[in-house]
Structure 1
Amino acid sequence: MQDGRQDWDATHDVIVVGSGAGAMTGALVAAGDGLDTVVLERTALLGGTSAYSGAACWLPGTQVQERAGLGDSTEAADTYLRALTGDAEAHRRTAFLRHAPELVSRLERDPAIEFEWRAFPDYVAAPGRMDAGRSFVPLDLDPELLGALLPLVRPAVDRDRAGRGHPAGAPLTAGRALIGRLLLAATRTGNALVRTEHHVTALVTEDGRVTGVEARTPHGTVRIRARRGVLLAAGGFEGDDALRTAHGVPGGAARTMAPRGTNTGELLRAALAAGAATGLMGEAWWCPGTELPDSSAAFTLGLRGGLMVDGSGRRFANESLPYDRMGRAIAAGGGGPDAAVHLIFDSREGGALPAITVPSADPADHLAAGTWVRAESLPELAALIGVPAGILADTVGRFNGFATAGTDEDHHRGEDPYDLFFADRKNAPGPNPCLVPLDRPPYYAARVVLADLGTKGGLRTDADARVLDVDSRPLAGLYAAGNTSASFTGDVYPGPGVPIGTAMVFASPAVRHMAGPPADAV
C-alpha cells in the first residue's frame, strides 16, 4: 500500500516477518550487528514448518563437516549443484556456497548455537555428491536454558496438532532445538524483540521504497516502520487452495506439512501489489503423504519394506527414492497428482507401517477410518482397494522374486546409497536389504497421496535476497528468503536440509545489505 503518512505504531531498524529457521537466522544476524530488530509471527508460536522438521541444514563446506573429517568442500558442492541445476541461477548458487561457511562460523561463535554432522546421503547420484551426506543438525537443547521462552517454540507436529505443548522436562530436539537455539541467541543480543499474533497483511511503501508493514493483532491493526528494510521469511502459499489452483500446484492445503491455518499467501499478494516478480510458482517440495483419518496427510519417508502400486495394481517407481522424487513419481506415474496410490505391506512388523510417518497415527484408527485396509489374501486385498486381483498378485510375485535374487529389475531399488540408508537388514532375508518379500499375511494397504513440505515458488530475489520487480530491478527496502522466495534449485531437491539451509543463508546477506547506509532514517 502506498502511504506517505507518518502515523506509525512502532519503529525498528529491521522487520523480520516469520519465525522459521531463515527468519530467526536473519533476526539473529541483524540483532548481533546492533540493529534494532523485531520478529513478527502471525501465530502464537514460533518456528513454523521448521519446528516440525528434522532440522537438517544443507550448508556445504563448513567447519562442521571439517570437524567430522568428511572431506567436503565448497568446490565439490558447486560441482554437484551445477550438475543438477545448470547455470540458470549461477549468481545465487555462488552466493549461497560462498556465504554458507561464513554464516556457520558466525553462528557457532554464539554459545547458544551448536551443530553436529549426522549421516544422511545427498539425494541424487551426480558428480560432487556426498554419499554419506553433508548436512548437519543442532544439538538437543535443555529446556531450562530457554526458561520463559520455552512456550513460544512450536512443539512437534503430533503434539502441536493435538493442542499439547512440549513434553515436560524433555530436551528440545530436531527443529525445536534449532528454533530454540536461534531464539535464545537472538534475544540474548538485547536487540531483538519477538511479537507473536502479528499477522502481516500489507506492505507500506513511500516514494517507491518499502518502509514498513501493516499487521492484524488481537488488539487491532498496527503499522510498523522499518528504517533499514523488511525481510519476508514466513513460508510459501501452500496453505491457500485458491492460490495453489491459480498457479497449478497440485495436492491441496489439507495435505501440506505446514502448521494448519498458516502460509496462506498474504505476503505474496502484498509483494505483488508492491510490484514484485515471482518464479517457480507451480513447484513445491514434494513428498508422499500417508492419508490420515482426518483427510490430512503424514509426511512419509524411509520405507523399510512394502511396495507401492497405482490404480492398475502395478509398481510405478523405486519406493525407496528420496521423498521429493517419490512425490514427483506419484504425480507423474501414480495415476496423476490427485490420485491415491497404495502402499502394500504384510505383517512382518506386526501390522505396523514399514516407514517413518510424521505425524504418526495408530493402525487401529487407520483401519477404522478406512485409510488402511487389511485382508488375509492378496485377492481379497485387491478387491478392497479396487485393483485387478491378478495384476496385484503378479506384482507381488514378481517383487518377491526380486527380493530372492537381490536385484530389482524394474526400478533398481536398493542400488543407491540413499535407498540403503533406511534399510532394515534384520528383516531382509535376501541379499538386498531394500527388497523385503511380502509373504506374511494378513496383508495391508495404506492409502498414499501427493503431499508437500511447502511451496518452493515465490518472490524472485538476487544474491543479496533483494526482491526483484518485473524488470529484474530490486525493490528498495524489501527482501525475501526461504519459501517466500523462489528457490534457486529449481525443480530439484539436492539433499536433506536444502530448504532450511538456503533460507538461513539468504536471510543473512539480506540483513547484511540492510546494515549498509540507510536510504533514510527516523
Structure 2
Amino acid sequence: MEQNEFDVVVVGSGAGALLAAIRAADEGLKTLVVEKMPLLGGTSATSGGGIWIPDNHDMGKAGLSDSVQAAFRYVKTCARGLASDDRILAYVETARHMARYLAGIGVPYRCVPSYADYYPTLAGAMPGGRTMDPIDFNAGKLGPQDLELLRPTCPGQLIFGRMHINAFEARSLLARERKGKFVLMWIMARYFLDYPWRNKTRRDRRLTGGQALLGGLFAALRQRGITLWLDTPMQSLTQEGGRVTGLVVRRNGQDMAVSARRAVVLGAGGFERNQQMREQYLPQPTDQAWTATPPEGNTGDAHRAGAAVGGALHLMAHTWGAPTLFVPKEEKYRAMFVERSMPGCMVVNARGERFLNESGPYPEFQQAMYANHAQTGGAVPAWIVFDATFRANYPIGPLMPSAAVPDAKLRKSWLNTVYWKGETLQELAGQIGIDPQGLLASARRMSEFSRTGKDLDFGRGDNVFDRYYGDVNVKPNPNLAPIEKGPFYAMKLHPGDIGTKGGLLTDRDARVLTEDGQPIAGLYCVGNNSASVMGPSYPGAGSTLGPAMTFAFRAIAHIVGKPIALEHPELLEAV
C-alpha cells in the first residue's frame, strides 16, 4: 500500500514546484510531488529557462554593478501598485540567494550581460545582467528513461527540430554576428557526432534553456529520493479547524486522501487552458488555443481549490502576453519572441496600419493588439509583413531563412496557413484581407525610417532592449530595413500568452491570504498559480521563473520555522 502521509505535498512539477520539493527535502522534510500530467516540467520545461535576478552573483564577472535599492525602485514602478511593497522587496532581496542555492544543487546560471530590462527608460532599470541563463545540462545525468518523462521543449527552440541552442548562441545567430556560422557548425557537429547517445534517443544530450533548468531540478529530485506521482491530478484541498491538512488526488482511477503534516505548496501553473475562466476574467476576444503553453495542463484547478478554502484571487485579468501563431501538426501555438525585432518586417492591422513598436517587449505587444483592436476592430488577428530580403536572411516562426530553406522546400500545407505570399504588396493585401493602400503607405514609411534610422511613429530601435535582437550589420538602426523587394510575405499573429498572471494572493513568504489579508495556515502558493509579484508588467526576461523559485525558497524557510527576514526594511519606510 502506498504511503500517503507526508510533511510537505507539492502540487505541480514546474520550476517553482520542484525547487520547493528539493529545498523541503534538504530541510529533512518527507516530501511528495503530485503532477496532473504524465510528463514532468509543465510550462517551465518549454520555456527559455531564464530567471530575472537583481544584483546576482555573476554580474561582477561582466563588470556590472547592481543594488537591491535600484531593483526595488524599478519593480515597484513596474508593478503599478498591484503588488505589495514588502513582497517586492522580499523578491529582489532573496532572488540572489536562491540563485546561489540553485548552483549548489547542480543547476548553475550565468548572467546575460547585454540583455536589458524590458523597460530600460524607467529609474532603476539595468542595460543588462539581471537576466540569467542556465548553464547547459548533460542529459546523461538523467539517462534516457528519465529524459522521456521530461516534457520536451517547443520546436521553435530547436535547430531543425533536434538541436538545442542556448541564449548566447541564439543571439549570435539571430544578430548575424561574425561568429554565428561557426556557432551553428559547432552545434550541428556536436549533435551528429554523438553516436552513442543518438542510438539511445532522438533527443539531444545537451539540454539548454528550460530543459537545462528542469533537467537539473529533476536530477536533484532523483538524488534526494523525493516521491513523484505523475498522472495524478489534485481534486481538492482538505482543511481542519481553518488549517489546510492535505489534499485529495486522483490516482490510478481512484480518489486518494494525502496528508500534509506541515504544508501544501501549490505550484500548478496558471489557468490559460481553461476557456471558461478565460472568458470570465481575461480581455476579449480570447481563446485557449492561442496560448503557447502545453495543452490540457494549466486549467486553474489549484486556483479553484485554493479559493474554495478561502484564498483570495488577484490580477485575474492579466497574462504574460505574447503574440502567437499557428503551425499545423504542432501541439500548441508558437510564441514569437524575437524574430519581429529583425529589420525588414512590420506588424499591421486590418487597415494596413502599424500600431506598435515591433521590437518591444512581448507583453506590451499583446496589450497593444488589444488596445488597437478596441479602437479599430482589426488587430485581432494582426499581421507581420516582410519582404524577400527579410525572408532570405532571417528565420521567422517555423520558416528558416530562404537562403537555407527556399520556398520550394517548405511544406505545402504551410502556404495560406502559416504564411501568405504575394508578388506585390497589393496582391498580398488581397490574400490576407487588409487594406492595400494602407499597407503600401506603411511599407513606404518604414522604408523611409530605415534610411534615416529613426522610427518617427513608435521609436523602434531607440533603446538598448530593442537593439539586442537587431542585425548588427544593418546601419544606422539594426531594427529597421526597407520593405520593398518582392515577393512579400505575411504571417497571422494572435494575442496569445505564455501563461496567466492572476492567481491566489500571497504574502512575502508565499502564504495564501484570505480576502481580509489573513494567511491560511498550511497553504502556500508559487509561480503562475499565485498572483504575480510583478503586477501587470514584465520587468525583464525571467520574471516568471525567477519569482516562482524565489518564493518557493522563502516558503520552505517559513514552513520549517526559519522565515527569511527582510534585509532592507528601511526601503519600505521610505515609500
The alpha carbon displacement at 1:62 in A equals 2.2
Letter in 2 for 1:280: L
The alpha carbon displacement at 1:373 in A equals 1.2
Assess if the C-alpha contact under 8 Å between 1:158 and 1:358 holds in 2. Answer: no
The 2-side partners of 1:405 and 1:78 are apart by 37
Q: Does structure 1 residue 281 correspond to structure 2 residue 328?
A: no
Assess if the C-alpha contact under 8 Å between 1:40 and 1:199 holds in 2. Answer: yes
The 2-side partners of 1:337 and 1:477 are apart by 48
Deviates more, 1:175-184 or 1:278-287: 175-184
Q: Indicate the RMSD between aligned Cα atoms, in angstroms.
A: 2.7
Deviates more, 1:116-125 or 1:239-248: 116-125
Assess if the C-alpha contact under 8 Å between 1:293 and 1:369 holds in 2. Answer: no
Letter in 2 for 1:150: L
Q: Does structure 1 residue 437 correspond to structure 2 residue 478?
A: no
Q: 2:424 aligns with which of 360, 366, 377?
A: 377
The alpha carbon displacement at 1:369 in A equals 4.4
The 2-side partners of 1:166 and 1:65 are apart by 37
Assess if the C-alpha contact under 8 Å between 1:248 and 1:282 holds in 2. Answer: yes
Letter in 1 for 2:79: T
Q: Does structure 1 residue 141 correspond to structure 2 residue 176?
A: no
Q: Does structure 1 residue 186 correspond to structure 2 residue 221?
A: yes
Judging changes above 3 Å, is the alpha-carbon distance between structure 1 residues 342 and 168 closer, same or farther for their aligned structure 2 residues? closer
Q: Which residue of 2 aligns with 1:33?
A: 27
The 1-side partners of 2:36 and 2:377 are apart by 34
Q: Does structure 1 residue 494 correspond to structure 2 residue 539?
A: yes
TM-score (normalizing by structure 1): 0.91
Q: Which residue of 1 aligns with 2:96?
A: 101
Q: Does structure 1 residue 506 correspond to structure 2 residue 551?
A: yes
Judging changes above 3 Å, is the alpha-carbon distance between structure 1 residues 61 and 366 closer, same or farther for their aligned structure 2 residues? farther
SS in 2 for 1:301: coil
SS in 1 for 2:148: helix
Q: 1:64 aligns with which of 40, 46, 58?
A: 58
The 2-side partners of 1:166 and 1:121 are apart by 37
The 1-side partners of 2:399 and 2:65 are apart by 32
Q: Does structure 1 residue 92 correspond to structure 2 residue 137?
A: no
After superposition, the C-alpha distances for 1:407-460 in whole angstroms (9 at most, x for unaligned) are: 11111111011111111133x3x4111111112210011111100000000100
The 2-side partners of 1:226 and 1:166 are apart by 38
The 2-side partners of 1:415 and 1:432 are apart by 8
Assess if the C-alpha contact under 8 Å between 2:394 and 2:400 holds in 1. Answer: no
Letter in 2 for 1:151: E
The 2-side partners of 1:337 and 1:180 are apart by 42
Q: Which residue of 2 aligns with 1:452?
A: 497
SS in 1 for 2:303: helix
After superposition, the C-alpha distances for 1:159-215 in whole angstroms (9 at most, x for unaligned) are: 999x9997345211110110111122233234x211111111211111211111111
SS in 1 for 2:51: coil
SS in 2 for 1:51: helix
The alpha carbon displacement at 1:355 in A equals 3.8
Q: Which residue of 2 aligns with 1:391?
A: 438
Q: Does structure 1 residue 261 correspond to structure 2 residue 300?
A: no
Letter in 2 for 1:346: D
Assess if the C-alpha contact under 8 Å between 1:26 and 1:510 holds in 2. Answer: yes
TM-score (normalizing by structure 2): 0.83
Deviates more, 1:295-304 or 1:170-179: 295-304
The 2-side partners of 1:454 and 1:476 are apart by 27
The 1-side partners of 2:247 and 2:412 are apart by 44
SS in 2 for 1:76: helix
The 2-side partners of 1:73 and 1:299 are apart by 32
Aligned residues: 506
SS in 2 for 1:453: strand
Judging changes above 3 Å, is the alpha-carbon distance between structure 1 residues 201 and 69 closer, same or farther for their aligned structure 2 residues? farther
The alpha carbon displacement at 1:14 in A equals 0.4
The 2-side partners of 1:309 and 1:86 are apart by 29
Q: Does structure 1 residue 174 correspond to structure 2 residue 215?
A: no
Instruction: Point out where structure 1 has 5 or more consecutive residues left out of the alignment.
Output: 1-6, 518-522
Deviates more, 1:144-153 or 1:16-25: 144-153
Judging changes above 3 Å, is the alpha-carbon distance between structure 1 residues 194 and 431 closer, same or farther for their aligned structure 2 residues? same
The 2-side partners of 1:346 and 1:414 are apart by 19
After superposition, the C-alpha distances for 1:276-310 in whole angstroms (9 at most, x for unaligned) are: 11000110000111233469521002121300100
Q: Which residue of 2 aligns with 1:204?
A: 238
The alpha carbon displacement at 1:353 in A equals 6.4
The 2-side partners of 1:289 and 1:77 are apart by 30
The 1-side partners of 2:107 and 2:445 are apart by 50
SS in 2 for 1:408: coil
The 1-side partners of 2:323 and 2:204 are apart by 33
The 1-side partners of 2:436 and 2:204 are apart by 51
Q: Does structure 1 residue 113 correspond to structure 2 residue 107?
A: yes
The alpha carbon displacement at 1:99 in A equals 1.3
Q: Does structure 1 residue 55 correspond to structure 2 residue 49?
A: yes
Assess if the C-alpha contact under 8 Å between 2:471 and 2:478 holds in 1. Answer: yes
Q: Give the share of equivalent positions with the same residue, in percent.
A: 36
Q: Does structure 1 residue 21 correspond to structure 2 residue 15?
A: yes
Q: Does structure 1 residue 465 correspond to structure 2 residue 510?
A: yes
Judging changes above 3 Å, is the alpha-carbon distance between structure 1 residues 265 and 38 closer, same or farther for their aligned structure 2 residues? same
After superposition, the C-alpha distances for 1:197-244 in whole angstroms (9 at most, x for unaligned) are: 111121111121111111112342221110100000010100000011
Letter in 2 for 1:260: P
Q: Which residue of 1 aligns with 2:184?
A: none
Q: 2:352 aligns with which of 313, 323, 344?
A: 313
Q: Does structure 1 residue 155 correspond to structure 2 residue 191?
A: no
Q: Which residue of 1 aligns with 2:181?
A: none
Assess if the C-alpha contact under 8 Å between 1:27 and 1:37 holds in 2. Answer: yes
The 1-side partners of 2:378 and 2:501 are apart by 17
